[in-house]
Amino acid sequence: MTSRTPLPWFWVLIALLGAASLAQVAVFRGETVNAAWLLAAAVCTYLLAYRFYSAWIAAKVLCVDATRATPAERLDNGRDFVPTHKWVVFGHHFAAIAGPGPLIGPTLAAQFGYLPGTLWILVGGVLGGAVQDMVILFLSTRRDGRSIGQMARDELGNVGGAAALIGTFLIMLILIAVLGLVVVNAMKHSPWATSTVAATIPIALVVGLYLRYLRPGRVLEGTTIGLVLLALAVLGGGWVSTHDTLAPLFDHDALPLAGGIIVYGFAAAVLPVWLLLAPRDYLSTFVKLGTVLLLAVCIAVLRPEIHMPAVTQFVDGTGPIFGGKLFPFVFITIACGAISGFHSLISSGTTPKLLTSEADIRLVGYGSMLLESLVAVMALTAATVLEPGVYFAINSPAGVVGADLTKAVKTISGWGFPVTAAQMQGLAEQMGEATLLSRTGGAPSLAVGTASILSAAFGGGLLAVWYHFAIMFEVLFILTTLDAGTRVGRFMLQDMLGNVVPALGRTSWYPSVLLCSALVVAGWGYFLYVGVIDPNGGVNILWPLFGISNQMLASIALAVATGTLVRTGKARFAWVTGLPLAWLAFITTWAAGEKLFSADPRVGFLAAARDLSDKLTAGVLPPEKAAVAPQLIFNQQLDAVLTALFVCLLWTVIGAMLLGARRHLAGTCTRASSEAPYQPSRLVGGQFHGAAGSEAAGS
């Protein structure tokens, strides 16, 4: 007993340090604040939440049982269901959930200042996102690895289940389109970035073939080869960008790059998993974790100053990067990193089929979400250590600040954030780019901030190399999610079409694979095209729709979780998921109303369509914008229809959940539980000593 007495004091010290750091971040109003305070506040918050809140949920709410056999053990087939070591599952799960959201959302939301985004990331991640991920993972594990759509049908009935399934599929298309847009904006007219990203595809193929045929099971060898080749791709990109013959081959406008992303997405969905998807996932896990930890260490050591104000004047909705006031749009702009509905697809997808023990659910579900939340804090830090004028010059679209550098910097300086043309041109040259003006989408500015921190930590040189390393790091985040999302979307479409044509529901039937993959890629490819042709960079159209749809998907998942808790006799704990559900339902419905009915063309979809139509009729649009205006008008109207549809589907699911919960509490619900019966585990406590590590590398 005495050996344990110092432990409470340790957590008291962590709490005091976290409180002091958060107070420094939130209250300090000097010219700058040290980024180390932000990092300390985040780490202390996550440690306390994991140690106490997640442990309480696991023990009291979920009643996690390490003696209960998981689907991976009971249904082990060596392919989909494979008992896997908890740290391998953790890496797989983190690689799958950590897409562009925790990188791009916080970077874009920095236009409001560093404080609003920081508070939402910390509170949302601890009380919302990590709770959703862990609870959905637990529920799916108890139900033979069922998907969120299947659980909605089982727990909420046919109407709620159908609404959840349709909403989930449509939302998936929006999410993937935004992923592609971020990649396109990062590579546009950048031979170095484009050649580096392009090289990651054959590198993944080489590693896949090496592990499949040349040296089966030699994961360490394949990993080493892949990481060395990725490093050479970054360095080789610099040589390509200065080569007279090769540079033009990789210097493209947005539209052909979007076409390349669409072709890649189709190939990734139809090729065998072991050939492209698995080696890319595996390699990206190392790059993601390594870069995040390296960035955190560098921030702790260097303690860079945050130059962005705590709160900017753009909280009133006049921000140049996207329209909309701080409330509700900061909660929509930052989805991943705080709470993301996409995670529920992974928590009810491949991950529950790999868990060896229910005891691993807390680490994998809650822990990996906290790590992604830390990624969001790192992204916000990297963006806000830039001079605000530089940040706005990179992220403001040409339609707002103008395409001419001199005019753009004058406009930005007029907002109170000084920047010069010479400063921007010199920065572009240091980064190995022709220009950094209006490189919208968040990825370029995040790469500049990351490169400045890493370069300072390693002697202050090689800025161009670090910049393009950061671009590759971001794109690996994104393409991993684009790969997995397209494949998951194909599975969902096959499941739906299989109810009409049974043969199409066979996931291994190649004609069905080709047809459904083509339909899914065509769906998100269209929205990617919408973003690419938008003169304002696509962010103002697609990112709010992305945020709203992603948070609505999280609301659907939390509705399923809340209804299930009530139906399993845990109504007194329903607030654990019910409170985040209520907040998200309120905030997304409010934001959707703004996007539908706001009279401001920079906010409302329909207002933007009317404004553009009036300008087209009046003949005041420049020729290049007039040529695409009809398509842009239609796209704005389509986005409005989709937003209204998402709201209807969300409240249909919530209504079905509330009705089912009331019937259960009244004793009139006769629907049987879909939870699998208890079977004792032969691997009690996760003591598994098989070849799960090598299996999971190809999962």
Planar angle of CA 463, 467, 473, nearest 5 degrees: 145
Helix, strand, coil tally for the chain in percent (to 5): 75, 0, 25
Enter the DSSP assignment of 341: T
Model confidence pLDDT, tens digit, residues 200-240 = 888 888 888 887 788 877 777 888 898 899 889 888 988 89
**What does the pLDDT read at residue 314?**
95
Model confidence pLDDT, tens digit, residues 477-512 = 777 778 778 877 887 888 788 878 888 877 678 888
Give the residue with greater pLDDT, 58 vs 242. Answer: 58
Give the integer Cα–Cα distance in Å for 39 and 297: 10
Q: Which of 659, 648, 615, 620 is nearest to 633 (CA)?
A: 615
Give the integer Cα–Cα distance in Å for 528 and 105: 18
Q: Where are the alpha helices (DSSP H) in 335-414?
A: 342-347, 361, 368-384, 388-395, 398-401, 405-414
Model-wide pTM > 0.85: yes
**What does the pLDDT read at residue 331?**
94
Is the distance from CB of 71 to CB of 351 less than 8 angstroms?
Answer: no
Judged against a pLDDT cut of 90, whether residue 51 lies above it is answered with yes
**What does the pLDDT read at residue 539?**
66
Is the distance from CB of 136 to CB of 148 less than 8 angstroms?
Answer: yes
Segments forming the whole domain that contains residue 418: 2-189+252-696
Model confidence pLDDT, tens digit, residues 249-269 = 999 988 999 999 999 889 888
Provide the Cα torsion 26, 30, 31, 35; round to 10°.
-40
Judged against a pLDDT cut of 50, whether residue 362 lies above it is answered with yes
For the ranges 220-229, 265-274, 550-559, 575-584, the lowest mean pLDDT is seen at 265-274
Is the distance from CB of 660 to CB of 151 less than 8 angstroms?
Answer: no
Q: Is residue 462 included in any domain, yes or no?
A: yes
First to last CA, the chain: 43
Prior bond of 352 cis (ω within 30°): no
Kindly tell me the number of DSSP H helices and DSSP E strands found in the chain: 29, 2
- Could you tell me the two tokens for 279? 């080696």
Which band of pLDDT confidence, cut at 50, 70 and 90, is reported for residue 613?
very high
Is the distance from CB of 472 to CB of 233 less than 8 angstroms?
Answer: yes
**CATH number for 353:** 1.20.1740.10
Q: At what angle do helices 623-666 and 148-187 cross, to 10 degrees?
A: 160
| Percentage of the chain exceeding pLDDT 90 | 40
Question: Which 3 state secondary structure label does DSSP give 142?
Answer: coil
Other beta carbons within 10 angstroms of residue 2's beta carbon come to 5
Q: Is residue 509 included in any domain, yes or no?
A: yes
Give the integer Cα–Cα distance in Å for 474 and 104: 9
**What does the pLDDT read at residue 650?**
92
> What is the pLDDT of the chain when averaged over all its residues?
86
Q: Which residues contact 324 (CB under 8 A, 6 or more apart)?
A: 317, 332, 544, 591, 594, 602, 603
Count Cβ atoms within 10 A of the Cβ of residue 165 and give its class: 0-12 exposed, 13-18 middle, 19 or more buried: buried
- Could you tell me the two tokens for 179? 């992923």
Is the distance from CB of 308 to CB of 33 less than 8 angstroms?
Answer: no
Q: Is residue 144 included in any domain, yes or no?
A: yes
Instruction: Average the pLDDT over 88-105 and give the result.
Output: 81
Instruction: Average the pLDDT over 572-593 and give the result.
Output: 96
Judged against a pLDDT cut of 50, whether residue 2 lies above it is answered with no
Q: Which of 231, 355, 346 is nearest to 281 (CA)?
A: 346
Domain count across the chain: 1
Q: Is residue 262 included in any domain, yes or no?
A: yes
Q: Is residue 175 included in any domain, yes or no?
A: yes
Give the integer Cα–Cα distance in Å for 550 and 556: 10
Count Cβ atoms within 10 A of the Cβ of residue 218 and give its class: 0-12 exposed, 13-18 middle, 19 or more buried: middle
Is the distance from CB of 167 to CB of 649 less than 8 angstroms?
Answer: yes
Give the residue with greater pLDDT, 641 vs 686. Answer: 641
Within 13 Å of residue 214, how many CA atoms lie on the same side as its CB? 11
- Within the chain, what is the greatest distance between any pair of CA atoms? 82
Judged against a pLDDT cut of 90, whether residue 564 lies above it is answered with yes
Distance of CA 511 to the CA centre of its chain: 31
Give the integer Cα–Cα distance in Å for 275 and 285: 17
For the ranges 180-194, 400-414, 559-573, 590-604, the lowest mean pLDDT is seen at 180-194
Q: Which residues contact 241 (CB under 8 A, 6 or more apart)?
A: 190, 191, 192, 195, 247, 250, 432
SS (H, E, C) 490-513: HHHHHHHHCCCCHHHHCCCCHHHH
Q: Is residue 500 included in any domain, yes or no?
A: yes
Give the integer Cα–Cα distance in Å for 685 and 88: 16
DSSP per-residue letters across 310-333:
SS-GGGGTT-SSS-S-HHHHHHHH
Amino acid at 419: V
**What does the pLDDT read at residue 315?**
94
Consecutive H or E run containing 306: strand 305-306
Model confidence pLDDT, tens digit, residues 506-551 = 767 888 889 999 999 999 999 898 888 876 666 667 778 888 888 9
Is the distance from CB of 146 to CB of 140 less than 8 angstroms?
Answer: yes
Q: Is residue 622 included in any domain, yes or no?
A: yes
Q: Is residue 226 included in any domain, yes or no?
A: no
Instruction: Average the pLDDT over 665-675 and give the result.
Output: 79
